């Protein structure tokens, strides 16, 4: 495999790597006939991202020489990112970037040809791997939003950097709202007074496409979304959001003739409206139709103290919580909780047993959902990480 990127496209490639690095620790590089694909999945498999750079994106694109196996590899995200670390430098000094994969030397070689004849050669070690592929289909999603990345980028700008999740909903007007999502326990421990809820409201005119019923709302992770947004903003593309009912993965896409990017993010299965409602009483009722049973079962952003409080204030669901070590969740990172894959056995629809975690693995989710169900027998849609990175 050999491909040559020149001029401004080097920065585009670098930007893409930066946004992928917000998701996974490993980067899957696969040269395909229709372009070079860069993919990653996060450790809890609740977020998947894929960029495909068309052959025309490159000055030269060669999938494989005839005697070679189709090359495919995975590298540590950190080491690949280090090649493209400084975007300002990429823009200022790098003239050409050549990526080649040579099975014989067992190295992924990235060469940067810089100004003044300086040349940087990175020989990265890699692992062979299976193809990473998530099963998703934007066409099957009933709701679609499309807007210039700048509009969405400005809309998420006011949210605090530490905010984990954001709720996107369509309300009467129609208007699209983006609201900071607060864990119920955050609200409880703070006595409902401290948390600040930020809400941005966008008009229909801001969108290039808006096909969604009033009242729909999904909650997803902001960090990954920001990653794709910053890519889309830098390339001046518009961003489409395909989504369905809460709990089903949302698909974020950018597309032009030379590249496309897909980010598939898990959404919270049951948005709990109660504290949100208290925080923003002016909010129209429909956007977050949540079941009335309150759960205090998410301790995704807890320190020990709030965990203890949760233990005390919840009656009845202690058992499910007690299985989980309290130290698992040091930060507000719900989708990264290491046990999300094990949740599959728990059907979230059984009444009275709230799911221990709200984010389910999106791959698993896509298997469960009949609409997505692939006919093939293999339940493994994404290759298991091979232990060692």
Partner 1 sequence: MPLLTQHLPGDDEQYSLVASLDNVRNLSTVLKAIHFQDHATCFATVNGIKVTVEKAKCVQANAFIQAEIFQEFKVQEESVTFRINLGVLLDCLSIFGSSPMPGTFTALRMCYQGYGHPLMLFLEEGGVVTVCKINTQEPEDTLDFDFCSTNVINKVILQSEGLREAFSELDMTSDVLQITMSPEKPYFRLSTYGNAGSAHLDYPKDSDLMEAFHCNETQVNRYKISLLKPSTKALVLSCKVSIRTDNRGFLSLQYMIRNEDGQISFVEYYCCPDEEEVSKSEP
Residue number with CB closer to partner 1 (25 or 214): 25
Closest separation in Å from C-beta 102 to partner 1: 12
Closest separation in Å from C-beta 75 to partner 1: 8
- Please state, in angstroms and rounded to a whole number, the distance separating the CA atoms of residues 169 and 286: 10
Residue number with CB closer to partner 1 (85 or 203): 85
Residue number with CB closer to partner 1 (6 or 79): 79
In this structure, how many other beta carbons lie within 10 angstroms of the beta carbon of residue 202?
21
Residue number with CB closer to partner 1 (80 or 364): 80
Residue number with CB closer to partner 1 (83 or 187): 83
The encoded tokens of residue 24 equal 């996974």
Place of tokens 């200022």: 92
Closest separation in Å from C-beta 369 to partner 1: 38
Report, in angstroms and rounded to the nearest whole number, the Rg of the chain calculated over CA atoms. Answer: 22
Residue number with CB closer to partner 1 (105 or 213): 105
- Please state, in angstroms and rounded to a whole number, the distance separating the CA atoms of residues 214 and 364: 28
Closest separation in Å from C-beta 4 to partner 1: 18
Residue whose C-alpha is closest to residue 191's, from 287, 357, 313, 318: 313
Residue whose C-alpha is closest to residue 172's, from 225, 217, 229: 217
Answer whether the bond into residue 293 is a cis peptide, omega within 30°: no
Which residues are CB-contacts of 37 (< 8 A; sequence separation ≥ 6)?
A: 28, 29, 30, 31, 50, 51, 52, 53
Provide the binding-site residues for partner 1, judged by CB under 8 A. Answer: 75-76, 78-79, 82, 85-86, 89, 93, 107-108, 116-125
Closest separation in Å from C-beta 119 to partner 1: 5
Q: Are 302 and 310 in contact (CB under 8 A)?
A: yes
Closest separation in Å from C-beta 68 to partner 1: 20
């Amino acid at each position: 495999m050999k491909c040559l990127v020149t001029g401004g496209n080097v920065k585009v490639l670098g930007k893409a790597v930066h946004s992928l690095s917000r998701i996974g620790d490993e980067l899957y590089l696969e040269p395909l006939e229709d372009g070079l694909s860069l993919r990653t999945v996060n450790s809890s498999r609740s977020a998947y991202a894929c960029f495909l750079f068309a052959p025309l994106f490159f000055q030269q694109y060669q999938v494989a020489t005839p005697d070679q196996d189709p090359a495919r590899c995975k590298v540590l995200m950190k080491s690949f990112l280090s090649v493209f670390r400084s975007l300002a430098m990429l823009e200022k000094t790098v003239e050409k970037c050549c990526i080649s994969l040579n099975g014989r030397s067992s190295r992924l070689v990235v060469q940067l040809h810089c100004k003044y004849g300086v040349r940087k050669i990175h020989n990265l070690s890699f692992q062979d791997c299976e193809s990473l592929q998530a099963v998703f289909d934007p066409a099957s999603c009933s709701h679609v939003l499309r807007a210039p990345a700048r509009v969405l980028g400005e809309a998420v700008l006011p949210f605090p950097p530490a905010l984990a999740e954001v709720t996107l909903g369509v309300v009467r007007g129609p208007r699209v709202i983006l609201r900071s999502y607060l864990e119920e326990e955050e609200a409880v421990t703070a006595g409902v007074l401290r948390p600040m809820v930020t809400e941005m409201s966008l008009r229909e005119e801001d969108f290039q496409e808006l096909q969604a019923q009033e009242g729909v709302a999904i909650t997803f992770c902001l960090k990954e979304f920001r990653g794709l947004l910053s890519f889309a903003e830098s390339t001046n593309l518009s961003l489409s959001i395909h989504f369905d009912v809460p709990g089903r993965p949302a698909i974020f896409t950018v597309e032009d003739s030379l590249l496309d990017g897909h980010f598939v993010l898990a959404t919270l299965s049951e948005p709990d409206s109660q504290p949100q409602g208290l925080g923003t009483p002016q909010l129209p009722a429909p956007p977050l139709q949540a079941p009335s049973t309150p759960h205090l079962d998410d301790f995704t952003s807890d320190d020990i103290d709030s965990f203890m409080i949760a233990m005390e204030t919840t009656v009845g669901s202690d058992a499910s919580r007690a299985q989980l070590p309290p130290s698992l969740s040091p930060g507000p990172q719900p989708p990264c909780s290491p046990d999300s894959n094990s949740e599959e056995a728990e059907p979230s629809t059984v009444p009275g047993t709230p799911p221990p975690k709200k984010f389910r693995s999106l791959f698993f989710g896509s298997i469960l959902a009949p609409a997505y169900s692939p006919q093939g027998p293999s339940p493994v849609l994404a290759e298991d990480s091979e232990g060692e990175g």
